[in-house]
Amino acid sequence: MLNPMHTRLCDEYGCEVPICAFAHTKDVIVAVTNAGGIGILGGVGRTPDELRSDVRWIKERVGDKPFGVDLLVPASFVEGNREDLEELIPQGHRDFLEGLRKENGISEGKPRHDGGTGSPNLLRDARELLEVVFEERVPIFASGLGSPAFIIEEAHAVGTRVWGLVGLPRQARRQVEAGVDVVIAQGYDSGGHSGTVGTFTLVPEVVEIAEGTDTLVLAAGGVSNGKHLAGSLAMGADGIWTGTIWLATHESETEMFLKQRIIEAKVEDAVQSRAMSGKPIRQLRSNWSDAWKQPDSPEPLQMPLQGMLVDQTLAGIREARLEDWMTTPAGQAVVGIHEIKPAAEVVYSLVEEAMEQFDRVSGEAASSH
């Protein structure tokens, strides 16, 4: 029997197992990559100098093994200078936030820097970070939000391959036609920026769209164990894209109280909210997400206006360590996380359980003849 864990992703990228790990902690990226997978570093929120330093740090520890950087290049985005954009924020939203702060004793804090989803210069910031990716010849650039089609030629010229996350078949079709190297079909149950179509509906459609092309497909959204890995490969995907399962690893910089909350979380504790960035983000439920779902709360604004409105308040929550108000992006895969483990152990257990599933299915098939 051929090894089901050896897919086109392994052939084309040199990884040992078809497991891709998205994380904001560089130690997780190194651990997963050295365990045979592909680590993808979330670069949003970093300055160009910070990203360059992290990329070089990773390279020193993984050598020629494949890894990547994920950035946001959203298509739906209100552009303009800060002064003009500030005028677009309704006074009612400012009043609601001020009342929320006073009622709960929340002070404004200082955002880490003028970057991330609350920056009016998100696209410019992304462009500066992309330059770092290309200058450092990072093997993979993944667009976590927005089509990366515009950057393919420039990326390929320096040897960087381009991946794009999609939540709808039509988005996948556009990216496949543009020549994106890998399309990540990310279902509704995913953490972070999530769409409206379920993983088991989306993945087979995207696999069919990519059939006969050079584009590979990864399955994402709610992937937390080896059964999901086996199921993804059985649907025709070339591998999996995972994020939530790395939050509670030893290497992750996720706060310990949030790791504990992840371990204890039920599926309904992973909620979608636009209250942080203006885009739907699946995250652990908190007082913050609850407050913006009350009948008297205003509808969150478009990106980047929502981020501009709330960034200082979220910074104040972090600085004061108001745990009930703090959260982390997390998908419905939280239900599969029961303890804090080393990232490499998570990789090995995914593979072991997937192989057990393939053995079980092939054994049943053999006995039925």
- Full pLDDT tens readout for the chain, 369 residues: 589 999 999 999 999 999 999 999 999 999 999 999 999 999 988 999 999 999 999 999 999 999 999 998 865 556 567 788 889 999 999 999 999 999 999 999 986 655 555 566 677 788 899 999 999 999 999 998 888 999 999 999 999 999 999 999 999 999 999 999 999 999 999 998 888 899 999 999 999 999 999 999 999 999 999 999 999 999 999 999 999 999 999 999 999 999 999 999 999 999 999 999 898 899 999 999 999 999 999 999 998 899 999 999 999 999 999 999 999 999 999 999 999 999 999 999 999 999 999 999 887 543 333
Please tell me whether residue 45 adopts helix, strand or coil conformation.
coil
Element (H, E) at 146: none
Helix pair 169-178, 199-210: axis angle to 10 deg = 30
Beta-bridge partners for 192:
282
Residue that is written with structure tokens 């190194």 in the block: 30
Count of beta carbons in the 10 Å neighbourhood of residue 57: 14
Task: Report residue 39 CA to chain centroid gap.
Answer: 12
Beta-bridge partners for 70:
42, 142
Architecture of the CATH domain 8-80+119-277+332-367: Alpha-Beta Barrel (3.20)
Q: Domain extents for the chain?
A: 8-80+119-277+332-367
Beta-bridge partners for 183:
164, 217
Please tell me whether residue 344 adopts helix, strand or coil conformation.
helix
Beta-bridge partners for 270:
284
pLDDT at residue 146, as a whole number: 85
Element (H, E) at 256: helix 256-264
pTM score, whole prediction: 0.92
Sheet containing strand 281-284, strands side by side:
192-193, 281-284, 270-273
